[in-house]
Structure 1
Amino acid sequence: MTEMLEIETPAAGVRLIRLNRPNKLNAINEVMRDEIAQTLASVASDVDVHAVVLTGAGRGFCAGIDIRNFGPGMLEASAPAIDRLRFQEAMAGLVRALADLPQAVIAAINGPCVGAGLALSLAADIRIASTAATFGNAAILLGLSGAEMGMSYHLPRIVGAGVAADWMLTGRTVSAEEADRRGLVSQLVEPEQLLERAIEIANGVADLAPLGVQLTKRALQVNIGAGGLGPALELENRNQVLSHATDDAAARRSTWS
C-alpha cells in the first residue's frame, strides 16, 4: 500500500504509477520520495511487468521537491555537508532507479513538470505530453545549481547542449509546443487523450519480446555515449546474437508475413 502513489495495472504487462498529491501539484515530500524508491525497486524485479507509465494526478505532473513541507528529513543549510550530500543522493537515486528499470518507461506529462519532476521525466525512455504541460528547471531560481538529479547528463543528450544551456541557466518556463519542437517529447496530445495514449504505447511495448525490449533500451543508453561506430556495433551485434536464439524470437519469426 502506498500513501502518495496510485499503482494500477491498466493492461497486461503494464504498470501505471501515478504521483498522487494533486493539491500540491504532486510535489515530492519525504513519504513520496521513499514510496517512489520502493515502488521502482519492486517493479524492477517483477517479471510480469514489461512497460511502465509514469504520470501525475490532477493538473500537474510533478512540481519538484516540496521545499516547504518536505518532512523531517529536510535539512537546513547549516547541517553538516555530509548529511546534505546524503539527502541529495537520495533524491538523485530516484532518477537512477527509474533509468535503470529493465522495462520501458513512458512519462505521460499532464501539466507542470518542474525541477525533480523534470528530472524524472528525462529518465523515462519515451515522453509524451499534454498540450497543457509546461517544463522548467527550478533549482537555479532558488540560488542553486541548475544541474541536479541527472539534468546536465540527460537534457543535453535529448535537446542538445545549446537548448539545455538556455533552459538550465535561465530557469524559464518552457511550453509544451517548444518542448515538442525541441524534441523533448515525442508526441503532444490533448489533455483528455494523454493517459489513454500513454497506455496504448505501453501496451504495444509490453506485447513485444521482453528481452528484445530490454536489450534495445540498454543499447540506446550505452551507445549514445559510445566512443565510435565500432563499439556501438559490437554491442548491437552481441544483442542480436543473444535475442536471436530465444524461443520467443523463434515463435515470432514463424508468424512473420
Structure 2
Amino acid sequence: MNTPEFETILLDRPVDGVVVATLNRPDRLNAQTDTMFREFERLARALNDDDDLRVVILTGAGRAFCAGFDLDDAKNLPGLGALGFLHQQERAARGLHALRHIRVPLIAAVNGPAAGGGFSLALAADIRIASPTARFNAAFVKIGLTAGDLGVSWLLPRLVGPARANEIAFTGAQVDAEEAERIGLVNKVVPADQLMSECLAMAELIKANSPGGVQLSKRAIQNNLEVASYAAAIELENRGQALLTRSADMPEALAAFLEKRPANFTGE
C-alpha cells in the first residue's frame, strides 16, 4: 500500500497484512473534527485498495480512544442552520460508514475513554478489545442532542439488547470496561500494556484463514443484520459460498486438510 499522509491519523504496518490506524490528536483526547471525518473516508478508500491487507486495528494516541466531537468545533454548530448542520452530520456519518464497511475486519483497540462520537466509532468496529481504563458513554442527551447519532441507535441494541441500550442512551451514564465486557459491548478486557499485542494476536488468528472467506463472512454478517427474513439471509450466504468455491483457496484448504499440513492461502 502506498501509505497516504493524514493530519489526524497515523498509520503503521507492524506485521504483514495488518495496518494500525491511530487517531493522533492526543492533546484533545483524539476528539473528532471535520478534517478527521473527511480523513476517515480517505483512509477507508486507501485501505480497500490494498490487496495485501487482512486486518485493520484502530486505536487512539495517548490516554483516550476518542472523546467525541471536538468542543472547539461544536460551539459553532448552533450558527450553521438546519441544512448546514445536516451537511456536517452527513459528512461525519459518511466517515464512520466508510470505516465500518472496510472489506477486512476492523478491530478497535479501546485504550481509554470512548465518548459521544468516539463511542459511535468504537461500535462501528467488528471486534472491540479494551484496556481497564476504557470508558463508554453516549452523552448526547446531556448536551441537548439525541443518542441516535452516527449509528449508535442501530448498533448498540444489536450488541447489548434494547433494554440495556435504552439505559445507556437515556441516562448518559458511563459504562466502565468491566461492565462493557459483562454486557457484551466489548469482546474482552486485557491489561493496558497488553492491549496492542492482544489485538495483533487476534489479527493473526484472522490471518490464518482464507482472505476471501473472512471478507465474505464479514459482508454476510453485516448485510444479514439488515435483511428482513431468514430466507433472504440464506440467499446471501448461498451466493457467497458459491463464489468462494471458484477461488483457489478452497481446493488448497481441502488438500491441506487431507495432507495434514497448514494451508497456503493466497486470496486468489
With normalisation by structure 1, the TM-score equals 0.94
- Once residues 116 and 23 of structure 1 are traced to their aligned partners in structure 2, the CA distance between those partners, rounded to angstroms, is 17
For residue 52 of structure 1, what is the amino acid of its counterpart? V
- Once residues 4 and 76 of structure 1 are traced to their aligned partners in structure 2, the CA distance between those partners, rounded to angstroms, is 21
Task: Indicate the SS of the match to 1:64.
Answer: coil
Report the count of equivalent residues.
Answer: 254
- Once residues 226 and 32 of structure 1 are traced to their aligned partners in structure 2, the CA distance between those partners, rounded to angstroms, is 31
Task: Give yes or no for contact 2:65–2:118 (8 Å, CA) kept in 1.
Answer: yes
Describe the superposition over 1:15-69 as per-residue Cα deviations: whole angstroms up to 9, x where unpaired. 1100011121111123323222211221122212111000011111000010225
Match runs of 1:95-110 below 5 Å: 95-110=96-111
Q: Indicate the residue corresponding to 2:265 in structure 1.
A: none
Task: Give yes or no for contact 2:11–2:20 (8 Å, CA) kept in 1.
Answer: yes
Q: Indicate the residue corresponding to 1:5 in structure 2.
A: 9
TM-fit CA distance, 1:228: 3.0
Describe the superposition over 1:112-141 as per-residue Cα deviations: whole angstroms up to 9, x where unpaired. 011111111111111111111110002111
TM-fit CA distance, 1:80: 2.7
For residue 127 of structure 2, what is the amino acid of its counterpart? I
For residue 49 of structure 2, what is the amino acid of its counterpart? S
Q: Indicate the residue corresponding to 1:17 in structure 2.
A: 21
Q: Indicate the residue corresponding to 2:59 in structure 1.
A: 55
Q: Structure 1 vs Structure 2: percent identity of aligned residues?
A: 39
RMSD (Å), alpha carbons: 1.5
Instruction: Give the unaligned 5+ runs of structure 1.
Output: none
Task: Give yes or no for contact 2:57–2:109 (8 Å, CA) kept in 1.
Answer: yes
Q: Indicate the residue corresponding to 2:83 in structure 1.
A: 82
Q: Indicate the residue corresponding to 2:160 in structure 1.
A: 159
- Once residues 176 and 155 of structure 1 are traced to their aligned partners in structure 2, the CA distance between those partners, rounded to angstroms, is 16
Task: Give yes or no for contact 1:12–1:203 (8 Å, CA) kept in 2.
Answer: no
Task: Give yes or no for contact 2:37–2:96 (8 Å, CA) kept in 1.
Answer: no
Q: Indicate the residue corresponding to 1:116 in structure 2.
A: 117
- Once residues 10 and 22 of structure 1 are traced to their aligned partners in structure 2, the CA distance between those partners, rounded to angstroms, is 21
For residue 254 of structure 1, what is the amino acid of its counterpart? A
Task: Give yes or no for contact 1:106–1:125 (8 Å, CA) kept in 2.
Answer: yes
Task: Indicate the SS of the match to 1:255.
Answer: helix
Q: Indicate the residue corresponding to 1:227 in structure 2.
A: 228
Match runs of 1:151-230 below 5 Å: 151-230=152-231
Instruction: Pick 1 or 2: higher relative contact order, CA cutoff 8 A, min separation 6.
Output: 1
* Larger deviation, residues 148-157 vs 235-244: 235-244
2:33 to 29, 36, 44: 29
